[in-house]
């Protein structure tokens, strides 16, 4: 029987959750849920020099916002903890000792200056193979005896082909000759990513490692470590790179990359997650809208592709638009409130706001655009758009609107249908096209020339507001 599925998201707390990290977390989450497995969050915080205060909290906050709940992790516990690598240092030190004893690792006493020089020479020589940093045995012993600081390095064998099957990329083979003698333990006793990652993936019984393609070149080192430590390696899956639209690697220069930036810009977590799901995967048909649970159903690692995924912000906006449209009106009404309150527009009931939302939701990407685009739902228009006036308001418009207003004031029902038929009838009586009433009426009640269906707009605004506004427009525009 296969081992139970256990996957992990293993971010380093060096800043914020990157959208690429969100995709990795999502795919791990989906894989775990799909296979009835466990999704682990492990904080890889052993690089003291890259530690950023508050970064772990920010990661957890972003994961929570996105709704990616892990089953084990630093704040929820689990039987394979602790889940912060800085709290597991003894394990890595033991592993390094074991590798040293077995002759698969060595203490390296090279000074930073020497390494710098070796690196320069190596670069000049254009030698494709690994940079040889090994010291003659006697020199090493001399340096050890004089108490020089050392690091522990992996002793990479020569002339070996390290081959493995990547679940996304297929067969991969890399010559050990190009693999560096990786530092495993630094002179301060802290492990590097490579050692800690392998030790923990084993200790936490991780069955599948699903992570970004940038880690692919590290795999040979990891496989050597698994072998030397006598561990069974997990299955590996490397996800395609995220690219800017010019196919360069996704970078901050070309736009936001932090999940929190998207939250702050009012994207819905569902929309961001849906968008991110498609960065490297598609369902094989034309469906695009997937809730998290629907993704669990539809998503599979087999359908993750190898080629880089373009990060297209227009597409993200499109997803947000779809989620605005799918939101129940009453929820949109509540989401509107803070944006209205910010303008001191806060005396509207939910039923009214829900009607406004229903009329406007097809026209916006974010809820906050509703009061920007249609302030007239919340405040009297104080000016009339000059272009619209020029184009739509004729010398006769005032007289015509007076007739319409008279017909409207005696309507029994203030509903879009009646409003429409009354306007049509009035236009016939006046022997003008309906447009001669429609456009000036819109201008009068909204102050602008474009907006949702006029009759629905009138219905939602209500009789009193409309009649007052029409009268005022007649006064102002003549
Ligand atoms: N700590 C690594 C990172 O920050 C984890 C890579 C991996 O998943 O092995 O992405």
- Model confidence pLDDT, tens digit, residues 296-326: 999 999 999 999 999 999 999 999 999 999 9
269 C-alpha to ligand 1 centroid (Å): 23
Report d(CA 151, CA 189) in Å as an integer. Answer: 8
Q: What percent of the chain clears pLDDT 90, i.e. is strictly above it?
A: 94
- Name the average pLDDT for the chain: 96
Domain boundaries for CATH 3.40.50.620 within the chain: 89-239
Q: Specify the ligand 1 atom closest to the Cα of 9.
A: 8
Instruction: Check pocket membership of 23 for ligand 1, CB cut-off 6 A.
Output: no
Query: Is the pLDDT assigned to residue 280 strictly greater than 60?
Result: yes
Q: Please give the Cα distance from 407 to 414 (Å, whole number).
A: 12
Please write the tens of the pLDDT for every residue from 177-197: 999 999 999 999 999 999 999
pLDDT exceeds cutoff 90 at 478:
no
Residues 6+ apart with CB under 8 A from 171: 163, 164, 165
Class of CATH domain 327-377:
mainly alpha
Please indicate whether residue 11, judged by its CB atom, sits closer than 6 Å to ligand 1.
Answer: yes
The average pLDDT across 398-424 equals: 97
**pLDDT in the model for residue 70:** 98
Class of the domain covering 259-324: mainly alpha
Ligand 1 mean position, distance from CA 221 (Å): 14
pLDDT of residue 1: 57
Res 50: pLDDT:
82
Q: List where CATH 1.10.1160.10 sits in the chain.
A: 259-324
Who wins on pLDDT, 3 or 422? 422
As a whole number, mean pLDDT of residues 258-270 equals 96
Highest CATH level, class, for 386-477: mainly alpha
pTM above 0.75, yes or no: yes
Give the pLDDT confidence score for residue 2 in this predicted structure.
76
Q: Which residues are annotated as a binding site for ATP?
A: 252
In the chain, the percentage of residues whose pLDDT exceeds 70 is: 99
Interval between CA 10 and ligand 1 midpoint (Å): 5
The length of the chain is 478
Atom of ligand 1 nearest to the CA of 11: 4
Residue owning the nearest CA to atom 3 of ligand 1: 11
Q: How far is the C-alpha of 66 from the C-alpha of 18, rounded, in Å?
A: 12
Ligand 1 touching residue 44 (CB < 6 A) = yes
Residue 450 has pLDDT above 70, yes or no: yes
CB 12 near ligand 1, within 6 Å: yes
Atom of ligand 1 nearest to the CA of 193: 1
Tokens (6 digits) for 123? 């670069």
Please tell me the CATH superfamily of domain 89-239, with its number: HUPs (3.40.50.620)
| Ligand 1 pocket residue status of 215, Cβ below 6 Å | yes
For ligand 1, the distance from its centroid to the CA atom of residue 202, given in whole angstroms, is 15
SS3 string, 209-232, reads EEEEHHHHHHHHHHHHHHHHHCCC
Catalytic residue IDs: 252
Domain with CATH 1.10.8.70 in the chain: 327-377
Residues of the chain with CATH 1.10.10.350: 386-477
DSSP 60-82: HHHHHHHT---SBBTTTB-TT--
- At 250, is the pLDDT very low, low, confident or very high (cuts 50, 70, 90)? confident
254 pLDDT above the threshold of 90 = no
């Amino acid at each position: 029987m296969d081992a139970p599925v256990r996957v992990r998201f293993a971010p380093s707390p060096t800043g914020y959750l990157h959208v690429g990290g969100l995709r990795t977390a999502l795919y791990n989450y989906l894989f775990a849920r799909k296979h009835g497995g466990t999704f682990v969050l492990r904080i890889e915080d052993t690089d003291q020099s890259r530690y950023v205060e508050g970064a772990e909290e920010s990661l957890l906050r972003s994961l929570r916002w996105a709704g990616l709940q892990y089953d084990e992790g630093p704040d929820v516990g689990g039987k394979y903890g602790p889940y912060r690598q800085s709290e597991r240092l003894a394990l890595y030190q033991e592993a390094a000792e074991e590798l040293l004893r077995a002759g698969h690792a060595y203490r390296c006493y090279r000074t930073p200056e020497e390494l710098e020089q070796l690196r320069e020479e190596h670069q000049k020589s254009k030698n494709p193979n690994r940079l040889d940093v090994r010291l003659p045995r006697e020199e090493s012993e001399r340096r050890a005896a004089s108490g020089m600081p050392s690091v522990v390095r992996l002793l990479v064998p020569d002339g070996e082909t390290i081959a493995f099957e990547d679940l996304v990329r297929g067969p991969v083979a890399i010559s050990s000759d190009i693999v560096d003698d990786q530092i495993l333990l630094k002179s301060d006793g802290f492990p590097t990513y490579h050692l800690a990652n392998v030790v923990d993936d084993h200790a936490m019984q991780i069955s599948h490692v699903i992570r970004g393609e940038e880690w692919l070149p590290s795999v040979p080192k990891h496989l050597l470590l698994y072998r030397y430590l006598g561990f069974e390696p997990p299955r590996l899956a490397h996800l395609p790179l995220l690219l800017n639209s010019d196919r360069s690697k996704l970078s901050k220069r070309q736009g936001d990359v932090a999940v929190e930036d998207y939250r702050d810009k009012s994207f819905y977590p569902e929309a961001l997650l849906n968008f991110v799901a498609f960065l490297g995967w598609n369902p094989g048909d034309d469906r695009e809208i997937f809730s998290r649970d629907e993704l669990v159903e539809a998503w599979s690692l087999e359908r993750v592709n190898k080629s880089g995924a373009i990060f297209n912000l227009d597409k993200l906006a499109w997803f947000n638009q779809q989620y605005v449209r799918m939101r129940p009106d009453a929820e949109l009404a509540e989401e509107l409130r803070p944006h209205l309150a910010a303008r001191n527009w806060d005396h509207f009931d939910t039923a009214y706001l829900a009607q406004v939302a229903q009329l406007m939701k097809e026209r916006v990407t974010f809820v906050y655009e509703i009061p920007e685009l249609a302030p007239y739902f919340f405040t009297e228009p104080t000016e009339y758009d000059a272009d619209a006036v020029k184009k739509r308001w004729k010398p006769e418009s005032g007289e015509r609107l007076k007739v319409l207003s008279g017909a409207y004031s005696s309507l029994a029902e203030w509903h879009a249908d009646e409003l429409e038929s009354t306007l049509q009838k009035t236009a016939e009586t006046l022997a003008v096209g309906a447009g001669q009433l429609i456009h000036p009426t819109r201008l009068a009640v909204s102050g602008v020339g474009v907006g949702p269906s006029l009759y629905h707009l009138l219905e939602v605004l209500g009789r009193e507001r409309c009649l007052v506004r029409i009268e005022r427009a007649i006064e102002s525009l003549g």
